[in-house]
Amino acid sequence: MKKLSLLLIVAMLAMVMSACTSNSNSPGAGQTEPGTTQPDGSGDPVTLKIVYKDEGTANPVSVKFFETLEKSLAEDEGLNVKFELVDLAQGSYAENLNLLLLGGTIPDIIYFQGGDQQIADQGLLEDLTPYIEKSTYIKEIMEPHNQTRMASYPYLLWIKPLAPKAPVVRADWFNAMESSKALMENPTVDNYYAFFKELVEKKPGEGKPSYALTAAGDIAEINFIFNTAFGLDTTWLKKDDGTYEYSKVSQNEKEKLTFYNKLYKEGLLDPQFITKQWDTKEDAFYKGEAAVITGTAGKIIDLYDGRMQELGGDDASLIVLPPAKGEAQGFGATDVTKEARGLAISSQSPHKDVAFKVFDYLASPKGQMLDRLGFEDEHYKVVDGEIELNEKYYSEWYARFWEPTEIQSETPLKTPLLGEPGTESLRMASDYYTEDNNFIIPEQFIANWDAMNNLYKEYSTDFITGKKDLSQFDQFVEAWNAAGGAEITKYANENIK
């Protein structure tokens, strides 16, 4: 009897707890939905943890942005939200984020710049498709390439213009070079080489630059300039017999690496490009150690331009260089399988709906006013009913979230959102746009794919620096195929349409 009574008590407690749990997700009499303000301005705040590269508590602009966003959400949407910025250690963002997530700390909103697929494969990222379908503003500002990417990989959202990395150089140094005109009129690989060589030999910056070109950690950024010129215009190249081969094991790749090795041996390529991070790369550019770097087309290039003029004066404004011309010309084919970077919502978050409401608000006219334009009286002023952007806007501000092609501002803009270099870089990106033929790597190949890419990085770095002779390129191809390349090549030939 005692055992029966105990079981009854446990059962009754379970029923009460279940009822409480179910009721906690839906407001009852006198209650509001979590995160919703009541008429008197009160209400339970929802804390959204967010991890975002460069947007930590040590960045006062970031702190002010999210504090301002909290106020705007409350005033415009009745959402009582508190943002908690999650700081990561210095170093590789992707690696440190991965350590955070695999360690069990999973913020509500996560910015990824690589490394997201293994997290998505574990079911830790929310499918955003139903949220987008029900959205008020997000679905209206998505570009066709956003829609294509979300259809195949619905976890990352990144509504930005198509923006490859484009090379830039100081105008005063560019104008001092005799080779500049030929480069702009006919940007062949040979003319790029001549321009780089003249920069290092002439040293227009009072003994600088030390080298013509630098990059952050590997050759990916340099490839935006030269890949297409060497015929590396898609991930999978179609051979004469109609079959496909992976571009990085092709003879085209060998020819490109031979050119990079030439730049390295002659001191035109930064000898420390392998160890540089994005910040030390930019620092080398600003200090004049490197003459040319690549920056993301659009606002980032404008930020580079603003910073360079702060340091070197108006004559140091930036000129955007065209992609190299050869077998073809362009900044490389655009991956439409998935967003390469973007914002995700944790599937483990208890506040997924609120998190997406934040996303949707930032796509609204009022949200865009903050995200795109910054703080009134600091980055812009309203004069005679029009928005005038100031120099601080151009040198400091960038959208943390969405940048649709056209901004839906409640107040008309008197000055353009982008400066001349940013506008020119986006024009070039549009002019040279092509779609890639790559595909999302199936789960059964992912482990091998990572190993194969690491193998490529090791060999390509050794080829460029001369640790390995390029006569060993066939040895690399054999190793790549043995590491899983043969199987993935077979899969590609069976599935590429």
DSSP 79-127: B-EEEEEPP--SS-HHHHHHHHHHTT---SEEEESS-HHHHHHTT-B--
Paired tokens of 323 = 């992609």
Fold match between domain 46-160+339-389 and domain 165-333: yes
| SS3 labels along 387-452 | EEECHHHHHHCCCCCCCCCCCCCCCCECCCCCCHHHHHHHHHHHHCCCECCCCCCCHHHHHHHHHH
CATH number of 165-333: 3.40.190.10
- The beta-carbon contacts of 186-191 under 8 Å, at least 24 apart in sequence, are 186/325, 187/321, 187/322, 187/323, 187/324, 187/325, 187/329, 188/229, 188/324, 188/325, 188/326, 189/226, 189/229, 189/230, 189/259, 189/324, 189/325, 189/326
One pLDDT digit (tens) per residue for the chain, 497 residues: 333 333 333 333 333 333 333 333 334 433 445 565 544 345 688 999 999 999 999 999 999 999 999 999 999 999 999 999 999 998 889 999 999 998 999 999 999 998 899 899 899 999 999 999 999 999 999 988 899 999 999 999 999 988 899 999 999 999 999 999 999 999 999 999 999 999 999 999 999 999 999 999 999 999 999 999 999 999 999 999 999 999 999 999 999 999 999 999 999 999 999 999 999 999 999 999 999 999 999 989 999 999 999 999 999 999 999 999 999 999 999 988 999 899 999 999 999 999 999 999 999 999 999 999 999 999 999 999 999 999 899 888 999 999 998 887 778 899 888 989 999 999 999 899 899 999 989 989 988 999 999 999 999 999 999 999 999 999 999 999 999 999 999 999 999 98
In CATH, what is the architecture of 46-160+339-389?
3-Layer(aba) Sandwich (3.40)
Structural domain spans, the chain: 46-160+339-389, 165-333
Rounded to whole angstroms, the Cα distance separating 413 from 373 reads: 10
Give ∠ CA 149-150-153 in degrees, rounded to 5. 85
